[in-house]
Structure formats: C-alpha cells, structure tokens
Structure 1
Amino acid sequence: MSRHSKREEEERDILGELGGWLVYILLIIGLTYLIITFVGQRTMVSGSSMETTLQDGDNLIVDKISYRFRDPKRYDIIVFPYKYEEDTYYIKRIIGMPGETVQIRDGYVYIDGKRLTSDIYGKEKIKDPQTAAEPVTLGDDEYFVMGDNRNHSMDSRDPGVGVLTRKDLIGRAWVRIYPFDNIGVIRHE
C-alpha cells in the first residue's frame, strides 16, 4: 500500500469516527428534547407556599405523562404556569375536584358542605379564605388548588390564580433531585 492511499484511508477513518459521534450527539439532543417536552421537566420550588412538604430551593422532576393515562387525584402536587408571568410555574396541591363545591369557613376547607378532615397537609387554620369565603362550584374540568402553607400561599383562593382546568396542569411533582440529602419520590397521599 502506498503512503498516499494509507493517508486517505486514515482520513476516511477519522471522518467516519467524527460522523458517528455527530450522529450520537444529535440523537442524544433529540431524545433529551422529547423527554423534556413530553415526559418530564425539571422545576425549582421558589418560596414557602408548599412547606413543610417542599422547601424553597428544592429541585423537582415533574411527571408530564401520567395525566395522559389517568385523572388527577385529590392531594396530587401539581405544577402549572402562572398566567400573568411567562416562564413562571406554581406548585400546589389539588384540594377540590371537578363538580365539587369548595368553601373555607372558620379556617377550614369544606367540600360539598362537609369539612375536609382527611387534609393532613394544611396544618394551620386558614386566616384569609379570599374568594373561597363564598362557595366555589367547580366545573366538569376544574380543580381547586392550595399550598400546604395555607396562610402564605397564592393559590385558587386568589383571583390571580383562580381555579385550574385540566389543560392548565403541566404535570405531577414526582421526584426531588436536590438537595441531595433529601432526594426521593414525593409523597402525594
């Protein structure tokens, strides 16, 4: 084999290797895009509205796929976009389900006129019921959400958030990935 053909063969090998790496990198980028768009999304907790369940600075992975196969449940922790600020997402807990009537009386949540005693997440009496001082009847596709830290949460009681529809729900908080000493699947019920 001549020196010239050996050099051409080495160049072809290098180009083949680079082409293989380029295809591999493009495949990884494409898969990452598909996962972020349709399966999961990273989000960070900002503020104290979900304490003690979630803390300010917690990093979460949001499951964006399970609601394609099942309906949201009471007490699911969900993520939704804040309608008045682009790229701002809220994390709250579903309290009222479609077709129910939600009201806050004497500091407690009532669903269809009965006190919601299974609500172990809101540990304090609610000081300001806001719009839920009067009964809020949810439509067939509406959800009433609240933060666990009820007296420090902007949620469905506030007209700026209001009730959510199914299409508003980006997904369900699934796993805490940071801080590292608190990594794990997030408990919903």
Structure 2
Amino acid sequence: MTLTLTTPATATGSAGIDWWSVLTDAGIPALALLLSAAVAIGLARRERRAADRSRLLERRDRMLEGILSELAFFATVNPEAEPWADHFRVLRAQVVLLQTLPGASNLAAGRWLAAECQLGTSQMAIAMQTADQLPASMRDPLVYMEDTHRWAQRTTLDLAKWMRNDLRDEDLRAREKTLTKLSR
C-alpha cells in the first residue's frame, strides 16, 4: 500500500506537489533568514564582549591613574608641611581594588603593588623616626625622605612600564616574591 499526499491540486487531477519549487520558494529564503539571524547574534555577542572588555580597561585605567597620583605624591612629599597618612590609606585601598578586577594581569600588578606599599610604609616609618631623632636645625626632608622618594619614583616608573606592556606579569610576580622575602 502506498501513501500519497493529496492536495486540492491533486484532487482536481493536476500533478503532485513540486517539492523543488517549495524548497526554492520557501526553504532557501527561510534558511537565509536563519543564517543571517545567527550571524547577527554572533556579531552582537562579540560586540558585547568587546564593550565589556573596554569598560573593564577604562575602570582599570582610572584606578591606575589614582595609584600613579598617590605614588607621585610620595615621590615629592615633605611630611613636615603635608599630611601623608591619608595618602597611604588611599593608595593601599586602590591597590586592593585593583586586585579585585578580573584578569590574572590585574591580580599580578595588585599583588606586586601591595608588596611595594608594605616597603613604602616601612621606609616612611623609618624616615619619620629618623626625623624625630634629629635636631630641628638639621631636619632636612630631602635627606631623611630620600629612600621614600626613590621608592615612590621607582614604583611609579615600573607601574608605567607595566601599563605600556614594557614590563611583563612574570617580572611583577618575581618582584613581588623578592619584596615579600625582604619584608619577613
């Protein structure tokens, strides 16, 4: 027994359904619509990812600008004329926030900067103890703050190198390990 599809056209005696015509008239346009929709969805996803990455980089750059600004302060600070404790607090907070950003590179930079901040805090404490022991006539901030100023300048330059991709994440990790060993 054969099963045949009857349509009004076949019931009236004309030929059966021309499947080739159905395929070319309806199937190909439908396939074209599906393909163009898939391409559009793919492009939209790629664009969304690029926009997300761009926003992340902008956020990171704003944080790094703040960190650079605080480091620049310590490269020139005169603790007898300027309050400095709040600047260290802000610097450490920005470093912690940098570590929260997605990406291994941000984490490496954040950990290295955290180790650098420990070193800077220690150098600032030593500088202030030295200043307290000097008579007022011999207290020259350029002298007793020299190590702190150099630390801030070196850290600023290294961070700028990392931002330009002249310093690799592996280099930061190695420096962090060295600084961590020194602080123990």
Q: Normalized against structure 1, the TM-score is what?
A: 0.36
Q: Which has the higher strand share?
A: 1
Name the one with the larger helix percent.
2
Larger Cα-atom Rg: 2
TM-score by length of 2: 0.37
